[in-house]
Structure 1
Amino acid sequence: MTTQKSQPIFIQDCGFHSAMGASHTQIHQCLSGLHASNMLQDDHILNTGTSTVIGRVTDSLPDIPAHLADFDTRNNQLALSAIQQIETSVNNAIAQYGQQRIAVIIGTSTSGIADGEIAYQHKSQAGDFPSDFNYRKQELGNCSDFIAAYFGITGPCYSISTACSSSGRVFITAQRLLRSGIVDAVLVGGVDSICRLTLNGFNGLEALSNTLCKPFDATRDGINIGESAALMLLTGQPETNNKQPNIALLGAGDSSDAHHISAPHPDGLGAEQAMQKALDDAGLNAENIGYVNAHGTATPLNDSMESKAIYRLFANHVAVSSTKPLTGHTLGAASATEAAIAWHILKYDLELPLQHCKDKAEDIEVSLLETPTKLHGKAILSNSFAFGGNNISLIFGFIND
């Protein structure tokens, strides 16, 4: 018996650019295993001289328009590459609702820090910052401000930065804004770009792997960092001209177990709470979920606790995999990145991404996805967990009426 569900939030469009590429063909081929994503070995980015694998976007990125030169960062270029994919939908929403009735809420953790690193290097060599550098480019709100300025949107606009759950929390914010009637549409997502600060920080935590990450494997030894921009246009009303069922955010759940500043609760109590709250919000039970896109960072502690939490709710009756080997861990953009993957699976009826786990660890109880499978009408639950036990679970699926 299902619980009382709340109002769904409808996804009108999705723009996405990661190490898997930007085109639908590239993304689908990577998800199906027909084409390798752009996960690269980098021998120069760590101060220790050791190497690591990163999920870098290697496609050329669009130029920032001249009248928005103050926002000219790689992070905003990456955002623009995703924005351009949904520009028509956003402009249609502006025409329908008005610029003041649309919000922009973006999750990030790196913002324009990479450009700041380049500027500081220039200063150390030349004695001064480059003439076009402004500290505002590093501020966490810079990307949301850029997107609002690009479209001329004047509704609520801000960024959320809660580490690796940042772009999951934007969906909860969008729910509240839409359900309260404050706005009619919300442009949400996550944008994070590769920077040395983050990579060397994670290396200092001994959390990086120097090979492609291996979620849930007995030999898993750490994460790969990636970069991504994933943006969605959300409204409270379905698309009436859509001949297909509408894709929606069915439910969202969060928790903050505050077990440790960087380590998750060993039994995954906060993770379980977030998943249960998402199920309750969606009015669904465990049997309604056909796939769990796990946070699955390939660190020993995360995968162990997440497996325990998933197993307590779903036993081994749901397919589980992590897509981190395809995109890297895109940090503040991780939730939106995996939300975009869920959107592609639902919209194009794709087979679920396989785990390819060569040696499943003894502490992993869940059923990993190792054979081609489709959803068969069920929903997707996607997890993202952050420092300090800041946990987010999102559920995506179809609404038929």
Structure 2
Amino acid sequence: MMKPVLVTGMGIISAIGENLSENHESLRHARTGISRAVHFKSHYASLLPFGEINVSNDHLKQSLGLEDSKGYTRTCLLADKAFNEAVADAGLSQADISSFDTALISASTVGGMCLTDQLYEDANLKSAGSEYLSAYGCSAHTMKLIRRYKIKGFTDTINTACSSSANAIMLGARLIRSGRAQRVIVGGVDSLAKYTVNGFNALKILSENPCKPFDVNRDGLNLGEAAAYLVLESQEAASGKKVYARVAGYGNANDAHHPSAMSDEAIGAIRSMKEAMEVAGVTCDQIDYVNAHGTGTQNNDQVELYGLSALFEQIPPFGSTKSYTGHTLGAAGAVEAIFSILSINHAELFPSLHVKTPIANYPNSPIAAYTKTEKVNYVLSNSFGFGGNCTSLVFAGVN
């Protein structure tokens, strides 16, 4: 029998809050964090809206006691902030964190390339070599966490584009269920970067307005930044602790249809959702809410709705919380896992913002208003990445 995987701690920083409680309040009051960027310096900062965290790097360093530390990019700082909150929330001691039974699985797509201009200078020998030479890789933030928090167990960093931190959660859950770890800290981080903004702009999928996932007039996504971590523990390790939820199921599939678009038949999406529910041992009619990938692009939203309609006889209440945070890339899966668990804990459904005319030909529309419901037992959370890497997670209540 596979061991249950319990969520005992959560930490998050995003455009709608610097911690878990602030994020929850913004969701409950339908407050978006998408606006003009202040700290991100780019040609597009004055032209496009972003889900920017309204905190400077200097403030982050000061709040974390890292004023004198070298080589910390914004990605590293955001990761440290959310990680610190998660382990404190779970009540982990230094002995717990340093135990060989504790693993760390993180995720990122941008990594230290958030310092795009500095990277260019260093890579082309236009500088004498900056303090960030070892910080440009995808795993640099993970290495910072390992050293600062004296982590000795298994560690890994995942980059599967937009499904990265969902896959971190899946791998962490599998380590616990198979008995390879008693505790796994999972999540991801990405910060705004010229590298990604210019790349997404080249794809012509950045909207000039706050994104409106599942609206017939949707015209693209907004890039955001965030960090989010969850502490997963076995039943034995979680004994006597508060438990937020259970990671009940997970599924991953790759349709390899196109470098940046999903197949019209939603092959990967359908398979990942179906597999996640099979692992969880639940049927479609038991899913109370779907936290959709919902980026606001023409292809993604149409394909995801098609996949949901093919799988569900009646699509459950669904929406996209990217209308609050923007698309946070490698952090999105963990951010939305936390939002899904908040929905379970408080029996709340959060509205999908900016939808005026829902996509036609489907009987269900995205959640239009904050709803307090009797109970949310099971939530399906989707994260679909470039290259067709589709991951779905099922979270369950514990009461």
The question of a shared fold, defined as TM-score above 0.5 by the shorter chain, is answered with: yes
Correspondence list, 1:175-194, <5 A = 175-194=173-192
Measured after TM superposition, the shift of residue 360 of structure 1 is 1.0
Between stretches 136-145 and 42-51, larger displacement belongs to 42-51
CA distance in 1, matches of 2:129, 2:97: 41
- Which secondary structure does the structure 2 equivalent of 1:13 belong to? strand
Measured after TM superposition, the shift of residue 9 of structure 1 is 1.1
Q: 1:237 aligns with which of 235, 254, 257?
A: 235
Cα deviation digits, residues 39-89 of structure 1 (max 9, x gap): 122598665798211101112323465699354111111112112213335
Query: Are the structure 2 counterparts of residues 192 and 359 from structure 1 closer, same or farther at C-alpha, using a change threshold of 3 Å?
Result: same
Q: Does 1:73 align with 2:68?
A: no
Between stretches 316-325 and 18-27, larger displacement belongs to 18-27
Between stretches 60-69 and 326-335, larger displacement belongs to 60-69
- Give the partner amino acid of 2:324: L
- Give the partner amino acid of 1:384: S
Correspondence list, 1:201-220, <5 A = 201-220=199-218
CA distance in 1, matches of 2:44, 2:331: 26
Measured after TM superposition, the shift of residue 363 of structure 1 is 5.1
Aligned-residue Cα RMSD (Å) equals 2.7
Q: What residue number does 1:379 align with?
A: 378
Cα deviation digits, residues 11-62 of structure 1 (max 9, x gap): 010001100112344222321235x333122598665798211101112323
Taking every aligned residue pair, what percent have the same amino acid on both sides? 32
Q: What residue number does 1:276 align with?
A: 274
CA distance in 1, matches of 2:313, 2:210: 28
Kindly report structure 1 stretches of 4+ aligned residues shifted beyond 4 Å.
42-50, 63-68, 121-124
- Which secondary structure does the structure 1 equivalent of 2:35 belong to? strand
CA distance in 1, matches of 2:239, 2:381: 27
Quick check: 2:213–2:352 contact (8 Å CA) kept in 1? Answer: no
CA distance in 1, matches of 2:244, 2:355: 33
CA distance in 2, matches of 1:84, 1:375: 33
Correspondence list, 1:3-152, <5 A = 7-33=3-29, 36-42=31-37, 51-59=47-55, 60-63=59-62, 69-88=69-88, 92=92, 94-96=94-96, 99-118=99-118, 120=120, 127-129=126-128, 131-134=130-133, 136-152=134-150
Quick check: 2:73–2:132 contact (8 Å CA) kept in 1? Answer: no
Q: What residue number does 1:340 align with?
A: 338
Between stretches 251-260 and 95-104, larger displacement belongs to 95-104
CA distance in 2, matches of 1:31, 1:49: 25
Measured after TM superposition, the shift of residue 165 of structure 1 is 0.5
CA distance in 2, matches of 1:45, 1:132: 20
Measured after TM superposition, the shift of residue 187 of structure 1 is 0.7
Quick check: 1:190–1:231 contact (8 Å CA) kept in 2? Answer: yes
Q: What residue number does 2:287 align with?
A: 289
Correspondence list, 1:276-355, <5 A = 276-355=274-353
- Give the partner amino acid of 2:221: I
Unaligned runs of 5+ in 1: none
Query: Are the structure 2 counterparts of residues 22 and 206 from structure 1 closer, same or farther at C-alpha, using a change threshold of 3 Å?
Result: same
Q: How many residues align?
A: 392
Q: Does 1:259 align with 2:254?
A: no
Measured after TM superposition, the shift of residue 6 of structure 1 is 5.0
CA distance in 1, matches of 2:163, 2:3: 23
Measured after TM superposition, the shift of residue 279 of structure 1 is 0.3
Measured after TM superposition, the shift of residue 102 of structure 1 is 0.9
Cα deviation digits, residues 265-285 of structure 1 (max 9, x gap): 112121011000000000000
Quick check: 2:221–2:296 contact (8 Å CA) kept in 1? Answer: yes
CA distance in 1, matches of 2:140, 2:68: 12
- Give the partner amino acid of 1:332: G
Q: What residue number does 2:196 align with?
A: 198
Query: Are the structure 2 counterparts of residues 158 and 53 from structure 1 closer, same or farther at C-alpha, using a change threshold of 3 Å?
Result: same
Quick check: 2:6–2:243 contact (8 Å CA) kept in 1? Answer: no
Quick check: 1:108–1:161 contact (8 Å CA) kept in 2? Answer: yes
Unaligned runs of 5+ in 2: none
